[in-house]
Amino acid sequence: MCFVVNYLIYVSQARPALDQADLDSILSTSRAYNTEKDITGMLLFVAGRDGKRGSFMQLLEGSAEELEALRKRIFADPRHHTKLVLEKGTKPQRDFADWSMAFRSVVAGDLAAHAGFADIGTEAFQQRCEAGEVHRSLAFMCDFWSSDAEA
């Protein structure tokens, strides 16, 4: 099989009080920059509940060099912290070829049907990430996007 695209998936914790204006700003920057650099992907924001901060999960697709340059920019951004790369590698094709950055904002309950990812943003999930026990995040992002798009 011929592998043509690099990808990277990470999770992070949003800074406290991150609001819709922050999300709008992140998305407009992303869509301009990613289009220019031929990067595609999906950003998932899980809103915090009961005063807890939200979480991000993001899939980036593109050339290895551009992904690493973008990862450094994103990881230096004070709007989130505790960033952890879950998965990186190559795959045969882009799953989000039409999206400079697809976006979904959900509450944790919306993830309940997705075993293993229901608890994104919790300390338990973070510990499982650090222990390398979170797999299949690429399949999760794609399944989540297509199931949600159908709803």
Q: How far is the CB of 114 from ligand FMN (least distance, A)?
A: 19
- Rounded CA separation 40/99 (Å): 5
Of the candidate residues 6, 13, 58, 137, the single one contacting ligand FMN (CB under 6 A): 58
Residue 90 found at the interface with ligand FMN (CB under 6 A) = no
SS3 assignment, position 85: strand
Are the beta carbons of 63 and 45 closer than 8 angstroms? no
Residue 13 found at the interface with ligand FMN (CB under 6 A) = no
Residue 88 found at the interface with ligand FMN (CB under 6 A) = no
Residue 83 DSSP code:
E
SS3 assignment, position 20: helix
Applying CB under 6 A, which residues contact ligand FMN? 26, 29-30, 33-34, 43, 56, 58, 70, 73-74, 77, 79-80, 101
